[in-house]
Structure 1
Amino acid sequence: MPTYVKFLKDVLTKKRRLGEFETACLTKECSTILTSKIPEKMKDLGSFTIPVAITGQKIGQALCDLGASIKLMSLSVYKKLGMGKARITTITIQLADRSITHPEGKIEDVLVQVDKFIFPADFIILDYDANKEVPIILGRSFLDTGRTLVDVHKGEVTMRVQDQEIKFVVYDFMKYHAEVEECYVLKILDETLLETLNSEPMLE
């Protein structure tokens, strides 16, 4: 009798077991993970913005971007403010489509007013079609200066100076910007690094 035929016969006559039934005991931590309810998925509410004024003029909303290492101002806003001649800068900016653009310059020690607080900031001036409602971008360094706290769930932005603080409820602004299907990515390249990249042959 072939071996496989004998095996099937033994299984059918219950002379051979396919395997033992075992119970696996999970730890308390694993049980908690499996039995806990998954948090409700929330809707994407968009980017956080705060109202700002520069040299006493209301600019509109400023985008709070934790991913940006610089503070960016559109050329149109710069001209509107009449802030004098910008300083030449060697910074080069790479956009999301990997194209390279050169800023118009840099202005330093600009007084940015956020409600009752005033912060000094350096801006890179870039010639681009800015959103009229959100013409400038505030990067990590500015938010760090204001000891900014962002509560995504509540839609609140809190800025603090010493023992004082101000809060903004930004749900309305977030809903507005969620409808704008645009994405801006900026990468800052040093002039020396850029020359090195341009001198290397492109890979096929």
Structure 2
Amino acid sequence: GRDLSRAIPLPTQKEDECVKETYTDPDLAEYTIKVPPPPVQKPKPPIQRHFVLHTRDSPRPNIPYLSRMLKQKQQEKDDIQIQKFWNMFKQLHLNINLAEALVLMPKYQKMLKALLSNKEKLQELANTPLNENCSAVILKKLPEKLGDPGKFLISCGFIELMCKALANLGASINLTPLSVWKKLGLPDLIPTRMTLELANHAICTPDGITRDVFVPVSKFTFPADFVVVDYESDPRVPLILGRPFLRTTRALIDVYGEEMILRDEDE
């Protein structure tokens, strides 16, 4: 027969502990087969799971009638714009008669309609930046506005004629009409080639120049040269005293106080 010792190795003492079953073959001698024990599974530790609880916010309820709320907000904005425009409109001062207002009404209607339709432009007009002039008006830094003080007249006391003379800073000469020259008996005329342009833009040629005419003003007497022209003058104010006479008299004109001061040396 077969040598089973070579074919099948004999189990050792340590291996015998693992033998669990013995098999017998009828043709062969009885032998044992080592059957390994079933593997022992170590118990796994329980898996620790951490759960995080998330609280979900309660859903916001839908706003009913959303379009109505939008219209209401838009209406509030429109009311604010209308109030601003009304405040601006109340500050306007129109100085025109009824006929002109009726003629201009269609034009203003188009303008107002365009302004109201363009709200952004209206907002720009409402917020107008102030310059120095506007700030001065608002802060009332400007002086009081006054009217025309009128003409500055000088009373002349000639022996032959009591009259007044017009003090004119815009005239470069002293002017007298030919009729006054004859009435006062002034010195002879000196011929001249001078031409004058009057206030009405008329060009005239003087009859001559009379020099060293003594003009009595109150208690003073001042010398002056006059250009004599043949023209119709105001009988109450026939003479015109220009810058040469005002410089001779060292005149100080106080427009605010409506007075003029003439000086003779220290008086």
2:160 touches 2:183 (CA, 8 Å); kept in 1? no
Cα RMSD between the aligned structures?
Answer: 2.8
2:188 and 2:216 map into 1 onto residues whose CA distance is 21
2:144 to 20, 40, 45: 40
Cα–Cα, structure 1 residues 85 and 163, in superposed 2: closer, same or farther, change >3 Å? closer
CA distances 1:29-60 after superposition (whole Å, capped 9, x unpaired): 99667513433322223211010134x33431
What corresponds to 2:171 in structure 1?
68
Q: How does 1:73-152 map to 2 (within 5 A)?
A: 73-152=176-255
Question: How much does 1:89 deviate?
Answer: 1.0
Structure showing greater radius of gyration is: 2
Question: How much does 1:84 deviate?
Answer: 4.2
1:74 touches 1:135 (CA, 8 Å); kept in 2? yes
Q: Give the match's secondary structure for 2:263.
A: strand
- Are residues 1:50 and 2:154 paired? yes
1:95 touches 1:101 (CA, 8 Å); kept in 2? yes
Q: Could you state the TM-score of these two structures normalised by the residue count of structure 2? A: 0.48
Q: Could you state the TM-score of these two structures normalised by the residue count of structure 1? A: 0.61
> Identity over the aligned pairs, expressed in percent?
45
Cα–Cα, structure 1 residues 31 and 94, in superposed 2: closer, same or farther, change >3 Å? closer
2:263 and 2:189 map into 1 onto residues whose CA distance is 30
CA distances 1:60-97 after superposition (whole Å, capped 9, x unpaired): 11000001000000111111112243111111101233
1:140 and 1:151 map into 2 onto residues whose CA distance is 16
Q: Give the match's secondary structure for 1:111.
A: strand
1:29 and 1:88 map into 2 onto residues whose CA distance is 54
Deviating beyond 6 angstroms after TM superposition, the runs of 4 or more aligned structure 1 residues are none
| Residue type at the aligned position of 1:124 | V
What corresponds to 1:160 in structure 2?
263
1:41 and 1:29 map into 2 onto residues whose CA distance is 15
Q: Which runs of 5+ in 1 are unaligned?
A: 1-17, 19-25, 165-204
Q: Give the match's secondary structure for 2:236.
A: coil
1:29 and 1:38 map into 2 onto residues whose CA distance is 9
Question: How much does 1:128 deviate?
Answer: 1.0
| Residue type at the aligned position of 2:254 | D
2:254 and 2:263 map into 1 onto residues whose CA distance is 14
2:257 and 2:220 map into 1 onto residues whose CA distance is 22
Question: How much does 1:153 deviate?
Answer: 1.6
What corresponds to 1:177 in structure 2?
none
By relative contact order (CA 8 Å, sep 6+), the higher-ranking structure is 1
Which structure features the higher share of strand residues?
Answer: 1
> How many residues are paired up?
144
CA distances 1:82-130 after superposition (whole Å, capped 9, x unpaired): 2243111111101233321011111000111111111110000011111
Q: Which runs of 5+ in 2 are unaligned?
A: 1-119, 121-129
